[in-house]
Amino acid sequence: MRPRLSLWACVLLFQFVSDLGAQNTKPGRLVTDDSIPKGLAGAKIHVPETGYRTRTDPEGRFEIPTKKSTQTALLIASVPGLKPDTFLFHFDTAGTQLFISGQGLQAAWVIREKNASSFNGRGIQTTEILGEGELKKAACCTLSESFETNNTVEVSNADGVSGIRQVEMLGLAGKYVLMTRDNMPLMRGFGVLTGLGQIPGPMVQGVHIAKGTGSVTNGHDGLTGGLNYALKASETDPRLFVNGYINNQLRAEGNLTSHQQLNRRTHNYSYLHHSRQLRTMDQGKDGYTDMPLYSRWYGGNHLSHYGRKAEVQTGFTLLTDHRMGGSIHNFHNGIHKPYQSFAFDMLEQKADAYIKLGIFTNKEGSSSIGNILTATQHKTDALLNSLTDRKWSGTQKSLAFSSVYASDADHLWAVRTGVQAMLDRVTETYGQGSVHRQVNRTETVAGAFGELVYRTEQFTWVAGLRADANNFYGFWLTPRTHLRYAINKHHTLHLQSGTGRRTSWLFAEFFPWLINNRQVVLPPMGLVNTPYGLAQEKAWNTGGNYVWEGMVFGYPSTVSIDAWYTRFGTQVVADRDLSDSAIYFLAQNGNNSTAVQADWVFRPYRRTEVKLSYRYVNSRQWLGDQWQITPFQSVHRMLAVFSFHNRRQWYFDAIAQFNGPKRIPGTRTHLENAGINRYSPWYTLLNVQIRKQFKNGWEIYAGGENLLNVWQRNPVMSGLNPQSPLFDVAYAWGPVNGTNGFIGFRWYLK
């Protein structure tokens, strides 16, 4: 829905393909720049040269009359609560972006090329924005595979056979990150581990990443950060977009999005995706598939209507995802045949629907009430180990509602307040053979929140508090505070602190670690009347971010430095160090994680961008009766990204990742007997891509991933003896297959 107004905003401009005559109108749009862009309604637009005046409509759009020969014009924008801004409006540069500083033309930034990624420090949190151009640098294929150019989000293989890519932030698992689509909680519960791997990357318009606990209006979870993505749903999107991809390992993908403008205020968007692994292989000759055979269908629709007093958005998505892996003997020439040895087989089916209603409470549109209602049904059937008949299946039905009121930001003080409610009905069955454990629960949580905002041009302070009541865990308070200090136009400092809580979804979050022959030791049921007999996870997160923006050798440069500390009051962990033949699930306290990250993005030359990043993580848990580094977490990780394009629209991207050693779980004796070091080696991944854009809407690309051919040859423990109690597939610390070459195309119909 309509976000809060920021002290900072940007103008997005677009042009018609052909002129309509000597006297033409040039459209523009005034939008917020602190989240997924939303229009600023009711802002006054004045062109001093001609005396022309207008106001932005509910979507933030406006038009300016101009002659064909006009290239630029000075505009004055007056936004309620801010000083009028004067800036330069370009008519001839696609992707022009101008930031309103609140201090007039001298502080305005005119950027001729829209950055593929950027750091936005204008809100209460520093947000890392990955635009469509940044996502194109990682051509394949899902959202979880689109973070190759990013050091904040680390993605790695969950195990050696399922092909699931797990996400981490600040040294902690992705389950502690609030993952949303357009601020809607559509990726939680059963989808917390696999969800990002089922979102087609080419359909994504942009991703916003924020570290630390966010606003209390977003919920009581999200202990270490937030990841919000948006599918293509802009008024400027093409009528039709088609994308195709295939690699040398016979993975093929196709994506189609369409945009229909039903009338001046109503737009409809449709999405269709299909991908499949046509065959599998065993490059490491360890007897197990390097990637599973899979078939995935994804489709949906999104409808937006912008009225004078309200905005309405509604839509749905449907997903089916089937994957099969395991012993290579179950496949003939890469094609599946009846099981003869160890096998993994998983089917997911998901449907969700939503409606968002925003109501403007004043004529300017600066005060509003935003309402969001979402419904989700997610069904999973997984054969985790065919040799022991170990299975996990379940159905999740979720309903969520939130309503947020944001007051007029014309004054020094502003408030945001609202209510939120969520219902989860979950049925799960886990076990093997004739021994099964069923977990049925209906969990309800309802809360109210308030946020007080004090804002000047240089200083912003936000104090938030929410109160929630849960039918299992009772009543609790969630305090959070954020501080932003703009030292000057080049230096910005953010500090924040707060708590977070979440209910553990034990099987959905840990099932890759159940693909083995280990004895699974779960908390005794019935002793505690909570899901899985576990306490609710809770943590305190505190830290800050410093951003410097300026010019180096006449070109823009940005430095961002983060430092964060998270301490758990309660954390649910899987202990694989206490025994080599068993895995223990339990709730602990005192576990902690420290993360420091530094990024430098600069342009040493025109149309050239370089990104250098270093991240240090010290994440510790009580495992094997001692404090140890979290398994498979690299303490040191470095990233270098080089991008260049010329005037003929040839784009060259090179990405190098340097990954430090990761701790391998297990007792010292067992690892030594298996010939495995306690830490993985350093390894480097190198990806290169070339793409070409044509004027007729076509774009082609080709490249290679893992060009240094780095891959792990033993991601399966005791793979030669799958009947052994030590057999475990979750020992992947790096890539499980070698160099991958790919080609693809994109086509846009304007």
Residues 434 and 531 in one domain: yes
Residue 682's pLDDT is what? 95
Residues 97 and 229 in one domain: no
Q: What is the residue type of 230?
A: A
Does the residue 207 lie in any domain? yes
The 10s digit of each residue's pLDDT in 322-372 is: 999 988 888 766 666 666 789 999 999 999 999 999 988 877 666 789 999
Would you call 595 exposed, middle or buried from its count of C-beta atoms within 10 A (0-12, 13-18, 19+)? Answer: buried
Residues 166 and 108 in one domain: no
Does the residue 3 lie in any domain? no
Residues 349 and 268 in one domain: yes
Task: Report residue 721 CA to chain centroid gap.
Answer: 39
Does the residue 580 lie in any domain? yes
What's the CA gap between 365 and 359, in Å, rounded? 9
Does the residue 1 lie in any domain? no
For residue 407, give both structure tokens. 């007051």
What's the CA gap between 156 and 135, in Å, rounded? 18
Does the residue 254 lie in any domain? yes
Residues 42 and 175 in one domain: no
Average pLDDT over residues 613-641: 95
Task: Give the CATH number for residue 51.
Answer: 2.60.40
Q: Which residues contact 434 (CB under 8 A, 6 or more apart)?
A: none
Query: Look-up: residue for tokens 């309620």?
Result: 80
3-state helix, strand, coil in the chain (%, to 5): 5, 55, 35
What's the CA gap between 740 and 686, in Å, rounded? 11
Contact 331, 323 (CB under 8 A): no
Q: What is the residue type of 112?
A: R
Does the residue 2 lie in any domain? no
What's the CA gap between 324 and 292, in Å, rounded? 5
Q: Is the pTM of this model over 0.85?
A: no
Residues 237 and 374 in one domain: yes
Contact 376, 398 (CB under 8 A): yes
Does the residue 161 lie in any domain? yes
Contact 570, 500 (CB under 8 A): no
The angle subtended at Cα 127 by Cα 125 and Cα 130, nearest 5°, is 170
Residue 331's pLDDT is what? 76
Residues 436 and 325 in one domain: yes
Task: Give the CATH number for residue 270.
Answer: 2.40.170.20
Residues 139 and 24 in one domain: no
| pLDDT-derived band at 553, boundaries 50, 70, 90 | confident
Does the residue 652 lie in any domain? yes
Buried b / exposed e over 191-219, threshold 16 CB at 10 Å, is bbbbbbbbbbbbbbbbbbbbbbbbbbbbb
Q: Which residue has the higher pLDDT, 101 or 158?
A: 158
What's the CA gap between 585 and 186, in Å, rounded? 27
Q: Show which of 73, 94, 114 is a domain's final residue.
A: 114
Contact 459, 453 (CB under 8 A): no
Q: How many helices (H) and strands (E) does the chain have?
A: 3, 44
The pLDDT of residue 99 is above 50: no
Number of domains in the chain: 2
Average pLDDT over residues 68-75: 57
Q: Show which of 97, 114, 131 is a domain's final residue.
A: 114
The 10s digit of each residue's pLDDT in 140-188 is: 788 988 888 889 988 888 888 888 988 898 889 989 999 999 989 888 9
Task: Report residue 484 CA to chain centroid gap.
Answer: 24
Q: Show which of 96, 114, 132 is a domain's final residue.
A: 114
Q: What is the residue type of 119?
A: F
Residues 44 and 170 in one domain: no
Residues 460 and 586 in one domain: yes
- From 93, 78, 92, select the one nearest 44 (Cα to Cα): 78
For residue 702, give both structure tokens. 């080709």
Residues 461 and 334 in one domain: yes
| pLDDT-derived band at 90, boundaries 50, 70, 90 | low
Residue 632 to residues 627, 636, 638, Cα–Cα distance (Å):
15, 12, 16
Residues 705 and 742 in one domain: yes
Residue range of the domain that includes 279: 120-749
Per mean pLDDT, which range of 41-45, 163-167, 499-503, 644-648 is the poorest? Answer: 41-45
Which DSSP state fits 377?
A: E
